[in-house]
A and B are shown apart, each in its own frame.
Chain A
């Protein structure tokens, strides 16, 4: 190695590079590689059998996987839209508050302060058909006689999960949209009022275009969140009943650890990441367009 003299910056960065390589790059490469093998945790030797795209091809014809994929997209669509509507409403209410706005803002953040696992347990308890708060309340109020099998019937379980997701994350939308509302200059709104707008028209033509970029930022964050939803579902239904609430990542987790088919699971995971990338690209484009539209300088 005569004459090889690494520069000081390289040497100083080397420890960081080594650590990153060990904990990020190497596992990434290994997992990518294993998605091309029939690797099973119970049979380590299978790690060295290269099967090319067989795992990927089998995913394409795997009905369970496509159901989980579709269900994830459905949950994403429902949760994001409802969260945005609720978050927008919440933000506009808080913005109207002239006193105690700081406290309201802090209170709004509460759901985000709980671990998703705990949120899962909490909602599992609330939606329990025998002892749950929800059924208890519905029955006490005389809305229904029978216990509703929230987490037992497939559609209801999906709704329950969506509710838990929405409860825990609406505040992301609320906070970001509120930031937009607070940053918004007030004169265009007054100009719109003078120009003949009703309150609804003022919102539709002036406030909303301004707040839209902020909503798209929240959308981007949340689409990544929901696309990798795992913990709440794992706790509340564990993908059940009979796989009716199985999402992409609960399926990946089950395939990897319960079925021990790590190679197949990794192939699913890499495929699922495409979904996240697609959503990210989509919302980033929307965000850029919305920003250009309001002439934002950030």
Chain B
């Protein structure tokens, strides 16, 4: 998308503006805390302490962050191709179905290190498939990807509810979930890494999916900025017309981008399903797909930014749980508000402070904003 705004130095663009937007989002959230009758500063202290104060807290924070890295990357890959994938939620849900099929079939015969790669492939394949249909419809039939992916989230939810209260539910059970996986489908924990630093951990679900998430972040960086395909995706994202002129197939690029996006979304399911709950339950994604939008926007669609933003949201989730415990007037839904405010200020209103910052830069050092080149086209 073209921005009618002049350039800023890179550090201001990628560092200063997101930080200012984030700060505003948190100030507004602070007002909500005040409205509820609590002290926002004390809330902030409890939140940060809950997330990073103890070893267990850190492990939980990183566990949540793992989930958000996957969904954030998923949204970002599609966004580089100027596709808004709201369907991350549904793709992750269906990815869980792939994992369930693998784990339920093999967990009694194979060890985890054989099941894990198969499950990765299955999760990615199911997620990619759920992304493929909207992509195909966008590329070939011109239906808007945002609307189709929203519809597919609801269709995914219906399909999963149908399967989890019917065929996948073990006989005689009341809970709408699959049977618990055996030891073969449980992923090893990573808590010992934090314990190396001397912290104590009671029990936390941090598992090797965290490493997988970091690897995927690196691979996404490689894909977007170091491969031909990534270049084509970015070209299409900037200008579909230019891409067409350069001989890039629209259909191929849309479908590939959405399948990669869907695959990353599907892999998100590995973390809660195989790393923590050891079953697939109704609504196990619980909004992580939508958090991915906030994470991708905050991270400015760059894997490094996404990992940092995911840790921030992991902190909010873990600290938010502590907050709900300490302050009875505040429940975990406070995070939902903060999430919304972050999406609003870092996403929709990302240009709100830009003109002011630009004016500031221009008055301090005209060169840094390239004044000569853009004279007269200021925002």
Q: Do A and B interact?
A: no
Q: Which residues of A does B touch, CB under 8 Å? A: none
Q: Which residues of B does A touch, CB under 8 Å? A: none
